[in-house]
Amino acid sequence: MILVVDSGSTKCDWIAVDKDGNQLFEKIRTKGLNPAILSEKKIKKILKKSTPLKDNKDKVTHVFFYGAGCGTENPRLMLKVVLQEFFPKATILVDEDTMAAVYATINTPTEAAVVCILGTGSNCSYYDGTILHQRVKSLGYTIMDDASGNYYGKELLRDYYFNHMPEQIRIAFADKYNLEADYIKYNLYKQPNPNAYLAQFAEFMILNKDSEYIVELIKSGIRRFAKNMILQYQEELKTVPVHFAGSIAFFCQDEIKAVAKELGFKVGNFERRPIEGLVAFHTKTIK
C-alpha cells in the first residue's frame, strides 16, 4: 500500500493506492500536519485519531508526504521520524508542499516553470525541470505569506476593526463570524494554528467577489505577492509560465490574470488540489 499525502496547515489529505495507482479506499482527511507549527506530540495525536490510518499502518510500504512547513530541515526531519515510527514498515519521503504543486501543475516532467502556492499559506519557487530553486527564505505566516488565506483573513479583520469596509460588507461579515475582540484574540494567541483560524475568513472574500472592495482587496494581495515573490524570477519569466496551486489561487484566477497583465508575466495552469497529480507521478516512479 502506497500513501500519497498533501498537507496544508489547515487540512491533510491521504490517498491510499496500490502499485498500479488504483485507489484502495476513500480519501482520508486529517487536520493539517505542519511541523513548523505543531509539536511532535500534537502530530502523533492527530495520526492516532485517524482510524483508517491506524488500522492500515502496518500494510503501508511507501509514504510520499508533501506539506506546508517541510521546506526547513529540522521540522522536516522531525516529521519524518514521527511518520517512520507510525508506519514502521514503510519507506518515508517528506518534502515541501511546493514540490507537490510542481508535479501537479507542470505539463511534462521536465517542464521549467515558476510555481506558486496560494492556500492557507503562500510560496513561490522556480523549477528548472530537475531542481527547485527558491530566492526568498520564508519567515512564516506572521511576516510573509502574502495573498494567502491567512493574509486575507488578517486584512479582513483589520479593515473591519479600522472601519475601512463598506457598510454593507461590514454587516455581512459581522453576521457570518464571531467578531468579538476577546474571541478573536483567544483564537490568535491562545489556540494552536492561528494561521488556519485566519484563513477561514477568506471564504467570505471568495463568496463576495461581486463587491468592488473585495476585488480590490484580492488584487492588492496578489500584487504584493507578485512583487515580493514572482518578480524575483525576472530572467526566468521571459521564457517560462507561472503556474498556481491552492484554493485561493483557484478561486481568484480572474484577479491573478488581471495582475499578471499589469506586471507582465504569463499565467499557466491552475490546480486546486495537487494530490491527484502526485498519485500518478509516484505510481510511475516506484515501478
Residue ranges of domains in the chain, CATH in brackets = 2-101+274-285 (3.30.420.40)
pLDDT at 260: 98
pLDDT at 193: 84
Round to whole Å and give the CA distance between 74 and 70.
9
CB atoms within 10 A of CB 160: 18
pLDDT at 127: 96
Amino acid making up residue 20: D
pLDDT at 71: 82
pLDDT at 275: 83
Per-residue pLDDT of the chain (287 residues; tens, 9 = 90+): 999 999 987 789 999 999 888 899 889 999 999 999 899 999 999 999 999 999 999 999 999 999 988 988 999 999 999 999 999 999 999 998 888 889 889 988 889 999 999 998 899 999 999 999 989 988 888 899 999 999 999 999 999 999 999 999 999 999 999 999 999 999 999 998 899 899 999 999 999 999 999 999 999 999 999 999 999 999 999 999 999 999 999 999 999 999 999 999 999 999 988 887 788 778 777 76
DSSP 76: H
Round to whole Å and give the CA distance between 107 and 228.
26
What's the whole-model pTM score?
A: 0.80
Q: Where are the beta strands (DSSP E) in 8-85?
A: 11-17, 28-31, 62-67
CB atoms within 10 A of CB 184: 17
Beta-carbon contacts of residue 244 (< 8 Å; ≥ 6 apart) = 105, 115, 116, 117, 118, 250, 253, 256, 267, 268, 269, 270, 271
Burial of 208 (0-12, 13-18, 19+ CB in 10 A): middle
